[in-house]
Chains A and B, each alone.
Chain A
Amino acid sequence: MKKLALFLAALCISSFALAVEPNEMLKDAGLEARAREVSKQLRCVQCQNETIDESHADIARAMRLLVRERITAGDTNDQIIAYMLSRYGDYVLLRPRFMSSTLILWVGPFVLLVLGGLVVVTRIRRGGTEGLALTEEEQKAVAALTELGEGGS
């Protein structure tokens, strides 16, 4: 049991041991933490659904190194992300920005939720069990099924 727990713990940790190789890391822990933070917002442009922090693709590695170089040179996180945006467009952000072209993406689910809620509310308000009660035919069918179930047990 203890071994299993250890194994699971190791598994959890290993999922965080990502693509960043030790020789890529900055010596300054604070700067390295910033590099990781920036890297987690940037998409590996070749692999589509990974951040450059977790991707093993060569282009992701090159982008990681560039992020670290810019941080060392004194750029802010926002400046680095702005640079990547100016090269690759919005696609490079894993989390889409809130703007007119992504409005449906951000607001859509909530609109659907509200619409669905309205439907439910009006249904309940209308009260009545009209249409909910079983017809004679359906009752017979249910009875037949229950009998079948009891007979089988």
Chain B
Amino acid sequence: MKRWPYILPLVAVLALGGIFAKRMVDIENGTDPSLIPTVLLDTPIPAFDLPPLPNRGEALRSEDLKGQVSLVNFWGSWCIACVSEHPALLAIAKEGDVPIHGVAWRDDPNKSLAWLAQRGDPYATVGQDPDSKTAIAFGVVAAPETFLVDKQGVIRYKQTGPITAADWKNKIKPLIAELKKK
């Protein structure tokens, strides 16, 4: 009597478990961004008009983003991962390839300002989004998230989680160079 077929269900369950575990780990690590696709990729940025931080420059308006390639970075003084991302943003700002616009998401403006004063300010403009409306319009889940916007105001890339030096060098910077030519 053949007994091996009885092993099959166990093998099937283990195989499925393995696949699920791998996908979960991939999503967790963000190694496969396609697993949580951005529906907004290659679509125009949503309209917004966000007030500036007190005594700090201009408001951040979707209309103003048109005409040049730019980064839109959702961040908050409450956001721990933003601390680890910050040096990369400062370095990008210093390189001067692209303006970084900050959205101070769900934050006390004074805390946002204090945070920037303490850690350095990479942002060309900062707009406040206290009620998360613009964050939701961008499909933001958790800070930091960063959108690369082309000259026509179309989203061309989305970074979920902190931008690392490697992300900048290998993905974002080459993409900016390409978008600038258009």
Which residues from chain A sit less than 8 Å from chain B, CB to CB? 45-46, 58-59, 62-63, 65-66, 84-89, 91, 131
Contacts and interface: CB of A to CB of B under 8 A. Distances in A.
Contacts of A65: 131
Contacts of A62: 106, 131-133, 135-136
Given A45-B141, A46-B142, A87 B136 contact: yes
B8 interface: no
A66 B37 contact: no
Contacts of B1: 131
B9 to A, nearest CB: 11
A46 B106 contact: no
Given A58-B106, A62-B106, A89 B139 contact: yes
B132 A59 contact: yes
Nearest to A91: B36
B7 interface: no
A112 B136 CA distance: 39
Nearest to B78: A58
Name the residue among A84, A89, A131 with the largest chain B CB count within 10 angstroms: A89
B40 A87 contact: yes
Nearest to A58: B106
Nearest to A135: B1
B141 A63 contact: no
A91 B133 CA distance: 19
Contact of B137 (A59, A87, A91): A87
A59 B138 contact: no
B142 A87 contact: no
Interface in B133-166: 133, 135-142
21 contacts: A45-B141, A59-B132, A59-B136, A59-B141, A62-B106, A62-B132, A62-B133, A63-B132, A63-B136, A66-B136, A84-B136, A86-B39, A87-B138, A87-B139, A88-B39, A88-B141, A89-B37, A89-B38, A89-B39, A91-B36, A131-B1
Nearest to B129: A62
A87 B40 CA distance: 7
A91 B140 CA distance: 13
Nearest to B140: A59
A87 B134 CA distance: 11
Interface in B24-56: 36-40
Contacts of B136: 59, 62-63, 66, 84, 87
Contacts of B106: 58, 62
A88 B131 CA distance: 17
A89 B43 CA distance: 13
Contacts of B141: 45-46, 59, 88
A9 B137 CA distance: 41
A140 B1 CA distance: 19
A43 B81 CA distance: 23
Contacts of B137: 87
Contacts of B40: 87
Name the residue among B38, B135, B141 with the largest chain A CB count within 10 angstroms: B141
Contacts of B39: 85-89
